[in-house]
Amino acid sequence: MSENRTRIVSDQAPRALTVSGLSYSFAGGPVLFDKLDFSVQAGEFVALLAPSGAGKTTLFRLLAGLVKPDAGEIRLGGSSESQSPGQKRRIGYMPQRDCLMSWRNVLDNAALGLELSGVPRQEARRRVRELLPSFGLEGTEQKRPHELSGGMRQRVSFLRSLLSGGDPLLLDEPFSALDAMTRASMQEWLLQIWEQHRKTVLFITHDVDEALLLSDRVLVAATSPISSLQQVAVGLQRPRDYSAVLEPSFIQLKRQILEQLGRTPVIKEGAGQ
């Protein structure tokens, strides 16, 4: 497991996640995944782009071990998880809805993962407190979820997943419920946080701009059922900020992805926004 700690992304970088031959369909529903293969390297920020209803959340639930695949294998780090179902998977999962506990304050909501992995309560709280300022949550320790804005709730949820220590971190459309302005500032904030922590992240979205802005690599799911993912390497320099969306290379990549998704490419640059 020690190779997971390496944070350099290169061709030889160890895999954080390997999916091979994954097939899945809900009972009576359409086939969502058909012999899907893909992998994520340790330390990489990968965006998974797919239209709504394509099965993105379902994929995360498969990766998290919450649903069993019909066929195929999901490996975390080096070990094979599908062959030892009793073993606990340790991915970090941030669900699409924030799923905060209304009966807990910010501090104890964020400490949930630590608490469940046996960290003593005081120690867990101390570690949450340390991170609150950089999550823009200073002074909200005692607040309940209903007293927070949508953006703050997502940050608490993200902090909770980050602290649970799982690897890789699966983020399921964390900003899709937010208004455009809050979303933009949350994206910039996530870029900063990621620079600090450099966790392996698999980020689900159906927003092309968001995928390009945040990730090292975009995986595009254009088919239904999803049987393969088209790869787009994002060569934009890091650290990034929101102004990256104006760069010509960004627009070039965006055009490429829209084509892959089967949309008619926009005639004027930026008219698709």
Partner 1 sequence: MKKSVKTVLPVFLFILLLAALWELLTTVFEVPHYIVPRLSDVLASLWENRLLLGRHFVLTLGEALLGLGLSVLFGVSIAIWMERFNLAKRTLYPLIMASQTIPIIALSPIMVMWFGYGVWSKISVVILFTFFPIAVNTSDGFRTADPGIGELMRTMGASKRDLFLKWKIPSALPGFFTGFKLAATISVGGAALGEWLGGESGLGVYTKRASNMLRGEAVFSGVLLLSLMGILLFLAVRWLESKVLAKRGSSDEKEM
Closer CB to Mg ion, residue 59 or residue 114? 59
Alpha-carbon distance of 48 to 272, in angstroms, equals 20
In the chain, beta strands by DSSP E: 15-25, 31-41, 45-49, 71-76, 79-80, 92-94, 169-172, 201-205, 217-220, 230-233
Q: Which residues in 35-64 contact partner 1 (CB under 8 A)?
A: 61, 64
SS3 per residue for 220-248: ECCCCCECCCEEEECCCCCCCCHHHHHCH
Instruction: Report the residue from 93, 158, 175, 194 that binds partner 1 according to the rule CB under 8 A.
Output: 93
Examine residue 206 and tell whether it contacts ligand ATP (CB under 6 A): yes
Examine residue 88 and tell whether it contacts partner 1 (CB under 8 A): yes
Binding mask 221-240 for partner 1 (x = CB under 8 A): --------------------
Give the interface segment with ligand ATP, choosing from 55-63, 79-87, 135-143, 195-203 (CB under 6 A).
55-63
Assess contact for 55 and 226: CB atoms under 8 A.
yes
Closer CB to partner 1, residue 93 or residue 175? 93
Closer CB to ligand ATP, residue 13 or residue 67? 67
Angle between helices 150-163 and 180-197 (to 10 degrees): 20
Binding mask 15-34 for ligand ATP (x = CB under 6 A): -----------x--x--x--
Taking the CA atoms of the chain, what radius of gyration do you get in angstroms?
19
Closer CB to ligand ATP, residue 32 or residue 163? 32
DSSP state, residue 133? G
Closer CB to partner 1, residue 48 or residue 253? 48
Instruction: Report the residue from 22, 36, 47, 58 that binds ligand ATP according to the rule CB under 6 A.
Output: 58
Assess contact for 202 and 125: CB atoms under 8 A.
no
Contacts of 186 (CB under 8 A, 6+ apart): 151, 154, 155, 174, 175, 178
What phi and psi, each to the nearest 5 degrees, are found at residue 18?
A: -130, 125
Examine residue 168 and tell whether it contacts partner 1 (CB under 8 A): no
Structure tokens at 132: 């609150």
Interacting residue ranges for partner 1, rule: CB under 8 A: 61, 64-66, 88-93, 95, 97, 99, 101-103, 105, 112-113, 116-117, 144-147, 164, 166
Interacting residue ranges for ligand ATP, rule: CB under 6 A: 26, 29, 32, 50, 52-58, 96, 206
